[in-house]
């Protein structure tokens, strides 16, 4: 089976390394000739080119462009594909992408490998990036089951944990456990930073420890990533934020009312619920 | 100098170990005779008793009872002290305790060693618990400066980081960086758990990873601890929750309005602010 990869960065490069390790032929396309040369020199791909035409013999093509470039890249690629080619992408939001590409290419299956590092670019590509990580595929009712099965087989080669659901289910699930925490955590930093009494602020900064450090971690991360989550998954994130605000308001009301039994129940419930997400 | 310690649990026991290591005499009082026996057998204290009378020769006494027992324990202890004895406590909330004990004992200095483990009891007491940890003391304008200086010297023996501020400053600072994160984090777990679509909930549970794990950690911790924070520091926590909710509402409004420039600025600011708390 011939694998095509468009975009040889952290994700595309690491997919190439993983499939080459399993003995598959990997054709790589990058906008930059220097990236193609690096990929060939490192043995990450079998062949590389800046031209989409390289992928006309590929059986499965992974679109690994940045999220905003996925749909235009698919549009540019499709004229070069043979009709049986299975097309998939790796973007972290699925609804809009699936809606845009599925009508253009019946053999399209949306996908989201949930792995990464803080690094970017082909030099960040590493072996084993996807081992034990979730890999969610998001077919529609019209997606050919064979296409999903083929992709599932490749995901097994990556040693990822395969999940399958509708694009909207995926988007709401990642809104809850990945995108919501960023805004919950950023608001914590912003709130602490908003203290106008300088003596309180300086004392807070001096004595903050592991509780603040962990709760604020994702809110103090890469701003571009947080922005992309909100732009790409806006409605699902707003749903989650509304649900979160309702829970917060309830906690505030219970503390105001000194309803300590209800606060004890709330904290006992969250202690019980958390392990089911880990 | 003779140190007295009332309450030989994790904090009291670890203070005893640290002062004994520096060659000080340590008199320990526990409600339980078995705890006294254990403390003596382990060499944690020089002398131990279930009677407060043991502390009549102590120069500095640390009240290490559970937070709700601090004031009644002080009331029971005070008749046994010589007038020059410096009294201090280790509770995590200072305003109400200082207000209650300072009028009863002029040489009282509120204190908060910010160290701990998940364990409790004398068997959890360990050497070095306070090294590099913040230790906040909270005198009032009436507290004798000599009493603060003596306590500062003992804190230096513990190798803790000494801070000094008014009780109200301490309470608002810990509300921001310790108590608020618990309720922010618990509300995240409660919100994710409130998803009524079982397919979304199951997918969220399956794919949650480090972002959810870190942001939810303190909200999934010991419920009794979280309850005590809200009970003991209610008004400061409500102040912090109100400030937090204002920040959250602003983030929601910006995402609703698709004001991406403002969201980018918000996330860039929180990325810059976070290191000043670490």
Q: What is the pLDDT of residues A77-108, one digit of tens each?
A: 999 999 999 999 999 999 999 999 999 999 99
Query: Count of CB contacts below 8 A, A vs B?
Result: 316
CB of B154 closer than 8 Å to CB of B19: yes
pLDDT at A271 over 80: yes
Q: Which residues pair with A47 in a beta bridge?
A: A27
B129 CB near a chain A CB, below 8 Å?
A: no
A129 CB near a chain B CB, below 8 Å?
A: no
Q: Which runs of E-coded beta strand occur in chain A?
A: 2-6, 25-29, 47-49, 60-63, 86-89, 108-113, 134-138, 161-164
pLDDT band at B97 (very low <50, low <70, confident <90, very high): very high
The answer, yes or no, to whether ipTM is higher than 0.90 is: yes
Inter-chain CB proximity A258 and B170 less than 8 Å? no
- The whole-number average pLDDT for the span B86-112 is 97
Nearest-angstrom CA–CA distance, A213 and A203: 15
- Quick one: tokens of A202? 């300086």
Query: Looking at residue B117, what is its pLDDT?
Result: 79
B131 CB near a chain A CB, below 8 Å?
A: no
- pLDDT digits 0-9 by tens, A122-136: 999 999 999 999 999
Taking CA atoms, B121 is separated from A187, B66, B213, in Å, by 36, 11, 28
The sign of the CA dihedral B31, B33, B38, B39 is positive
pLDDT band at B116 (very low <50, low <70, confident <90, very high): confident
In chain B, which residue's Cα lies nearest the Cα of A195? B243
pLDDT band at A117 (very low <50, low <70, confident <90, very high): confident
Domains of chain A listed by start with CATH number: 2-165 (3.40.50.720), 170-277 (1.10.3660.10)
pLDDT band at B62 (very low <50, low <70, confident <90, very high): very high
A10 exposure class (CB count in 10 Å sphere: 0-12, 13-18, 19+): buried
Which residues on B lie below 8 Å from A273 (Cβ)? 189-190, 192-193, 220
- The whole-number average pLDDT for the span B30-42 is 97
pLDDT band at B70 (very low <50, low <70, confident <90, very high): very high
What is the C-alpha radius of gyration for chain A, rounded to an integer number of angstroms? 22
Q: Is the pTM of this model over 0.95?
A: no
Nearest-angstrom CA–CA distance, B2 and B45: 11
- The whole-number average pLDDT for the span B149-167 is 98
Q: Give the residue ranges of DSSP H helices in chain B.
A: 10-21, 33-41, 70-77, 95-101, 145-157, 167-174, 180-193, 198-207, 210-216, 223-232, 234-256, 260-273
In chain B, which residue's Cα lies nearest the Cα of A238? B252
Nearest-angstrom CA–CA distance, A38 and A4: 17
A142 CB near a chain B CB, below 8 Å?
A: no
- pLDDT digits 0-9 by tens, A231-260: 999 999 999 999 999 999 999 999 999 999
Nearest to A38 by CA among A17, A60, A68, A52: A17
CB of A107 closer than 8 Å to CB of A82: no
Inter-chain CB proximity B176 and A200 less than 8 Å? yes
182-241 in chain A: CB under 8 A from chain B: 182-195, 197, 199-200, 203-209, 211-224, 226-227, 230-231, 234, 237-238, 240-241
pLDDT band at A119 (very low <50, low <70, confident <90, very high): confident
Query: Looking at residue B119, what is its pLDDT?
Result: 84
Taking CA atoms, A30 is separated from A38, B46, B57, in Å, by 11, 74, 80
DSSP A82: -
Helix (H) or strand (E) holding B7: none
Which residues on B lie below 8 Å from A258 (Cβ)? 231, 234
Residues sharing a CB contact under 8 Å with residue A11, sequence separation 6 or more, in sequence order: A64, A90, A113, A115, A116, A129
Query: Looking at residue A211, what is its pLDDT?
Result: 94
pLDDT band at A118 (very low <50, low <70, confident <90, very high): confident
Residues sharing a CB contact under 8 Å with residue A8, sequence separation 6 or more, in sequence order: A16, A28, A29, A30, A35, A36, A39, A44, A45, A48, A64, A122, A125
Q: Which residues pair with A4 in a beta bridge?
A: A27, A61
pLDDT band at A116 (very low <50, low <70, confident <90, very high): confident
Q: What is the rounded end-to-end Cα distance, in angstroms, of chain B?
A: 35
pLDDT band at A165 (very low <50, low <70, confident <90, very high): very high
Inter-chain CB proximity A209 and B177 less than 8 Å? yes
Inter-chain CB proximity A214 and B212 less than 8 Å? no
Q: What is the rounded end-to-end Cα distance, in angstroms, of chain A?
A: 35
Backbone φ, ψ for residue A56 (5° rounding): -70, -20
Which residues on B lie below 8 Å from A162 (Cβ)? none
Which residues on A lie below 8 Å from B198 (Cβ)? none
CB of B135 closer than 8 Å to CB of B33: no
- Which long-range contacts (C-beta less than 8 Å, at least 24 apart) are formed by A65-68? A65/A6, A65/A7, A66/A7, A67/A91, A67/A92, A67/A93, A67/A228, A67/A232, A68/A228
Which residues on A lie below 8 Å from B259 (Cβ)? none
Nearest-angstrom CA–CA distance, A225 and A119: 12
Q: Exposure pattern of B84-113 as b/e (b: 16+ CB <10 Å)?
A: ebbbbbbbbbbbbbbeebbeebebbbbbbb
Q: Exposure pattern of A203-232 as b/e (b: 16+ CB <10 Å)?
A: bbbbbbbebbbbbbbbbbbebeebbbbbbb
Query: Looking at residue B197, what is its pLDDT?
Result: 98
pLDDT at B118 over 80: no
Q: Give the closest of A200, A211, A224 to B181, CB-based.
A: A211
3-state DSSP: chain A helix, strand, coil percent, rounded to 5? 60, 15, 30
- The whole-number average pLDDT for the span A151-168 is 98
B162 CB near a chain A CB, below 8 Å?
A: no
Nearest-angstrom CA–CA distance, A244 and A181: 10
- Quick one: tokens of B4? 């007295």
Structure-token match 């998001």, residue found: A138
DSSP A178: I
- The whole-number average pLDDT for the span B227-244 is 96
User: C-alpha dihedral over B182, A225, B212, A264, to 10 degrees?
Assistant: 30
């Amino acid at each position: 089976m011939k694998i095509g990869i468009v975009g040889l960065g952290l994700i595309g490069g690491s997919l190439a390394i993983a499939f080459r390790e399993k003995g598959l032929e990997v054709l790589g396309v990058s906008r930059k000739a220097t990236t193609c040369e690096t990929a060939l020199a490192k043995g990450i791909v079998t062949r590389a080119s800046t031209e989409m035409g390289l992928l006309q013999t590929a059986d499965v093509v992974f679109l690994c462009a940045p999220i905003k470039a996925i749909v235009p890249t698919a549009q540019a690629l499709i004229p070069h594909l043979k009709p049986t080619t299975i097309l998939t992408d790796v973007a972290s939001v699925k609804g809009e992408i699936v809606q845009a590409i599925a009508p253009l290419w019946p053999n399209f299956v949306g996908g989201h490998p949930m792995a990464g590092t803080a690094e970017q670019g082909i030099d960040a590509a590493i072996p084993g990036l996807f081992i034990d990580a979730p890999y969610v595929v998001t077919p529609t009712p019209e997606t050919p089951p064979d296409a999903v099965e083929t992709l599932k087989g490749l995901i097994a080669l990556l040693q990822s944990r395969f999940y399958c659901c509708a694009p909207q289910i995926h988007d709401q699930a990642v809104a809850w456990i990945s995108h919501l925490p960023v805004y919950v955590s950023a608001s914590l930093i912003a709130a602490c930073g908003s203290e106008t009494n300088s003596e309180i602020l300086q004392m807070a900064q001096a004595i903050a420890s592991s509780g603040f450090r962990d709760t604020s971690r994702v809110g103090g991360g890469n701003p571009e990533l947080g922005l992309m989550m909100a732009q790409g998954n806006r409605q699902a994130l707003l749903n989650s934020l509304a649900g979160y605000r309702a829970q917060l308001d309830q906690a505030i009301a219970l503390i105001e009312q000194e309803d300590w039994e209800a606060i004890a129940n709330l904290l006992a419930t969250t202690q019980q619920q958390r392990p089911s997400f880990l």
